[in-house]
Structure 1
Amino acid sequence: MKLSTRATVIAGVLLLGLTGCVPTTPTPTPTTTSSTTPTPTLTSTPSADPEEAEVTAAVVVMTASTLSVFGTDGSTLASVTYEMDGAAAAAQIAEALDEEPVVTPVPGDVESPCPPATSYEFGGLQLRSPGSLWATASYEVIVTAASTSGGIGIETLAGQQIGATQSSFQTAIGEFMVLYEDPNRIGFDVLNPEAHEWDRIGAYAEFSGGTLVYLAAPNRLGFIGSCA
């Protein structure tokens, strides 16, 4: 059978219509996801100030002119001269050492060169007010041990302590004078070296068996006696 031209045109139109009706799959558009990394917030923790170290007594130093207590930081916690009242001096030393002394009355005779006195004792450190027969100030300091009852070291010139050998002590302190032609008794740290030897005032040291056993100050070195 022969198709007419009209039929051919209609068929073509139908074919085009069918082709246009075929659904097309749309190409997806990519979605860009923005990933933002958060910046961390730094939290500043204030550092605490270090606690101030407590300053305590480190050493007691006796010379012919002063008695001093130095702290663990090198500061001076107390420094008393021998002209001040003995009880007041003992109170200052007690506060610096954080230690109460043993207070003992010393018998004597008001009419004699050895009047009644009071002893303020911190173990190996003693303040006697008034001092012994040869003392030249309001009170006298006597040292008989290397430390106080509280364990604080006691020194004199050049860091010398009770228990030092006589040779090392004499080398360390420098100039000294032998008293009464007795090598076991010497005077040192003389405050008035220009005075006659009987009138010189300084610190006194006594040895036994080549070992330092006793210190006292201030003393009249030309006359070392006892009220006992």
Structure 2
Amino acid sequence: MKLSPATVIAGMLLVGLTACVPTTPTPAPTTSSGTTPTPTATSSASPSDPEEVEVTAAVVVMTASALSVFGTDGSTLASVNYEMDGAAAVAQIAGALDEEPVVTPVPGDVDSPCPPATSYEFGGLELRSPGSLGSVGAFEAIVTGTTTTAGVGIETIAAQQIGASRATFEAAVGEVMPLYEPPHPQVGIDVLNPEAGVYDRIGVYANFTGGTLDFLAAPHLLGFIGSCA
């Protein structure tokens, strides 16, 4: 279709007018006076505390001066000296080990050097109150095995245990006091009063059968000869 000049001019005027019409801007969002926008929540949780690890008995160490139980974190769970009441010492050791001992009466004569006593046995560890002949404490610690009933290791100085050879034991503990020789060699270690006379020295008594450590007891007069058996 052929457009007349008048139609073309009218169309151009319409386009021009349309292009000149101003557009209304879109208003930006505003907040009401005095109102603080709520901030977006961000994660601010503090790191969770590490889970507490339960501390249990790791090893029992018997020396001439004390019987101690150390925990899996290296802490001292119990440490008793041989001058304290035997029953009280047993209670502390039992609590630290979380074990109950086997309690056995030991017969004896009240008016003799071997009075009645009570044995408290935790597997390879025994506490006897009062101690046997030659013991100088209110109670005596005796070791005959490598672990307690629940499997807690038992050691003396230098981490030596029942079953060690005499050569290994003596090399580890340092100075020893020879006591008796075969058939059952016995030595004293961890002497508390080395300046005392031979028969008055106190320490840990160690017995070897067939060249192997099989018995430890403390605190003992190392030069003492005798037995209640």
Q: TM over 0.5: same fold?
A: yes
Query: For residues 29 and 43 of structure 1, do their structure 2 counterparts lie closer, same or farther at Cα, with a shift above 3 Å needed?
Result: farther
1:151-192 Cα shifts (integer Å, max 9, x gaps): 100000100001111111000111111113457110111111
Q: 1:1-228 to 2 correspondence within 5 Å? A: 21-22=10-11, 24-25=14-15, 26-27=18-19, 42-182=42-182, 184-228=185-229
Deviation (angstroms), 1:20:
5.9
Deviation (angstroms), 1:42:
3.6
Matched with 2:31 is none
| Uncovered stretches (5+) of structure 2, i.e. residues with no partner | 27-38
Query: For residues 161 and 73 of structure 1, do their structure 2 counterparts lie closer, same or farther at Cα, with a shift above 3 Å needed?
Result: same
Q: TM-score, normalised by structure 2?
A: 0.83
Question: Rg bigger for which structure?
Answer: 1
Deviation (angstroms), 1:21:
4.3
Instruction: Quote the Cα distance in structure 2 between the aligned partners of 1:214 and 1:84.
Output: 23
CA-based RMSD of the aligned residues comes to 2.7
Local SS of the residue matching 2:193: coil
Q: TM-score, normalised by structure 1?
A: 0.83
Instruction: Quote the Cα distance in structure 1 between the aligned partners of 2:24 and 2:226.
Output: 111
Query: For residues 205 and 30 of structure 1, do their structure 2 counterparts lie closer, same or farther at Cα, with a shift above 3 Å needed?
Result: farther
| Uncovered stretches (5+) of structure 1, i.e. residues with no partner | 1-14, 34-38
